[in-house]
Amino acid sequence: MRIPSLFGSFNHSVRSMQQAQYALTVHGSNIAHANDKDYTRRDVLPFTESFRKGPGIVRLRDRFIDDQFRRTAGKLGDAEVRQSVLTKVEDIFGDPVNGGLRSALDGFFDAWQGLAENPSDGVARIEVINKGSVFAEQIRSTYRQLADVEQTVNEELLTRVDEVNNLVSRVFDLNIKISNLSRNFMDDAELRDQRDVALDRLAELTGAMAMDQPDGTVRVVVGSTVVLDGPITTKLLLTNTVDGPTPTWAGYTTPTYNGSGTIEGLVTVRNGDLKTLKKHIDDLGRSVGNAVNDQHLLGYPLGGGVPEAFFNFSAAPADITVNPDITPATLAVAGTSTGLPSDGDNARLIAALADKPIIESPIITGKQEGVRSFYRNLIGWIGTQSAAATQDMKAAEAHKQITEGQRQAQWGVSLDEEVAHLTMEQKAFAAAARVITVMDQMLDDLLNAVRR
C-alpha cells in the first residue's frame, strides 16, 4: 500500500480548497440567476473528471427534453398564427346573423320583395337601387378587408424570414466561439445558454431541430433541409409566386420550405383559409350579380322599353357596382312588355333568387344552394376553422407548459438545493483547510524535533 507523502498531502488539500472555492462561485452564480428562465443550472465536476473535460463546469441540460420543447414550440407558433388571423377574419364578418354583409344581402332581396308588393311606389324603387349599392359596397369592402389581412400576413412573413436569417447567423457565430473555447478547455456555458435561446426561437419560427457535434457546435435542420452545418449556412428567401411571397431556401435546386412553426402557419393560412374566403366572396358577388342581371334583363321597365343589366363587373375580383344608368324608372320590375305600374312579377322573381340554387356550397363541393344558405354555411365554416385553430393552440400551449416544467425541473435553479450545495462546499473548504493546519503543525513539530 502506497502511503502519500506529506507534501503530496499538502498539494491534495490545496487542490481540494481550490475545488471547493470554485464550486462556491458556481453555486453562487446559480443562485444569482434563480429567476432567469434562460439560464441553465451549472455543477462542478470532480477534479479527476475536470482534468479531462476542461474547466470542470457541466450544464445540467437534457437534449431529449430540449427536442420535445422545440417540437412543441413549432406547433404552437403555427397554431398561434392561424388562430390570430382567423380571429381577424371573424371580426370582418362580425355578427353571423346581423353582420354587415349578411344585413346587406338580406336588405337587397327584401327591397325587391317590397317592390314586388308595391311596384308603383317610387320610394320602393329608390330603395332597391340603394340596397343594391350597399350590397355591392359590402362585397367590395369585405374582399378588401380580407386582402388587407393577407397583406399583413405577407408583411409578417417578411419580418419573420429576416428574423430566421438573423438567428441562423447568430447560432453560426456562437458555434465558432463555443468551438474555440471548447478546444482550449475554457468555460463556454454562458455562450451555450445564448445559443439555446436562439435555437428555441428558431424552433418556434421554423420547427428547427439542433444536433450536437463533437466539436461543441450544433447542426441545424429545418424539415429536411440542413440550414447550418459547420461553415455552411443557407438563407431563407421569399420568392414571388401566384400566391404571394413564398419562403424558399437559397442554394437548393428544389427549395421548397417544408418546416413548421410561425413561417408555415403564415403561409398555410394565407394560401388556404384567406385564399378560399376571398374566392367565396368573389363568387358570392358574381353569382348574385349575374343571377340578378339575367332575371332583370327578362323584365320590363315602366311603359315597356329595353331593360339593362342591374350590376356592372370589372376584371378585378369582387369589383361589383350598380349600373349607373339604372334609375327608378328603368328598373325592369314588370313581367310583361307593357310595363304596367301594377306589374311586379319580375321583381318577385328577382327577390326569389335569394333562395334559388345559384351558387356552389362552401362546404359540399358540387352542391348548388341559395345565397342566404351559402352565407350561413360560409359563416359556419369560418367559425369551425377558427375553433379548430383555437383548439390546436390551446393543446400546443398545454404541451409547451408541460415540457417547460420538465425543463425547469431538470435544470432550473432550486434555491434550497443550491444553499445545501453552498453549505457542503463551505464545509469541504473548511475541512481541507483544517487538514493543511494539522499537517503544518506536524511539519513544525518534526522540524523542531530535528533541531533538538
pLDDT in tens, 42-64: 777 765 554 444 457 777 788 88
Q: Residue 162: its pLDDT value, please?
A: 95
Number of other CB atoms surrounding residue 245 within 10 Å: 19
Cell of 430: 473548511
End-to-end, the C-alpha distance of the chain in Å comes to 32
Q: Residue 182: its pLDDT value, please?
A: 80
pLDDT in tens, 197-237: 999 999 999 999 999 898 889 999 998 888 999 888 889 99
Residue (of 150, 134, 7) closest to 442 by Cα position: 7
Q: Residue 50: its pLDDT value, please?
A: 46
Q: Residue 54: its pLDDT value, please?
A: 45
Q: Residue 427: its pLDDT value, please?
A: 73
Asked if residues 384 and 329 have their Cβ atoms less than 8 Å apart, the reply is: no
pLDDT, averaged across the chain: 85
Residue 298's SS3 state is: coil
Residue 286 has pLDDT above 80, yes or no: yes
More confident residue, 145 or 414: 145
Residue 273 has pLDDT above 80, yes or no: yes
Q: Residue 255: its pLDDT value, please?
A: 53
pTM listed for this prediction: 0.83
Separation CA 1–CA 48 (nearest Å):
21
Confidence band (pLDDT; 50, 70, 90) for 269? very high
Q: Residue 1: its pLDDT value, please?
A: 45
Q: Residue 7: its pLDDT value, please?
A: 66
Residue (of 65, 40, 60, 64) closest to 406 by Cα position: 65
Asked if residues 207 and 71 have their Cβ atoms less than 8 Å apart, the reply is: yes
Residues 280-297, mean pLDDT to the nearest whole number: 95
Residue (of 9, 150, 37) closest to 86 by Cα position: 150
Ranges of each domain in the chain: 69-399
Residue (of 228, 250, 226) closest to 238 by Cα position: 250
Residue (of 117, 386, 199, 162) closest to 277 by Cα position: 386
pLDDT in tens, 72-98: 999 999 999 999 999 999 988 876 555
Separation CA 173–CA 195 (nearest Å):
9
Residue 229 host element (H or E):
strand 225-229
Separation CA 35–CA 413 (nearest Å):
8
Backbone angles phi, psi at 232, to 5 degrees: -100, 125
Residues 119-129, mean pLDDT to the nearest whole number: 93
4-8, 10-14, 149-153, 359-363: which has the minimum mean pLDDT? 4-8
Number of other CB atoms surrounding residue 260 within 10 Å: 23
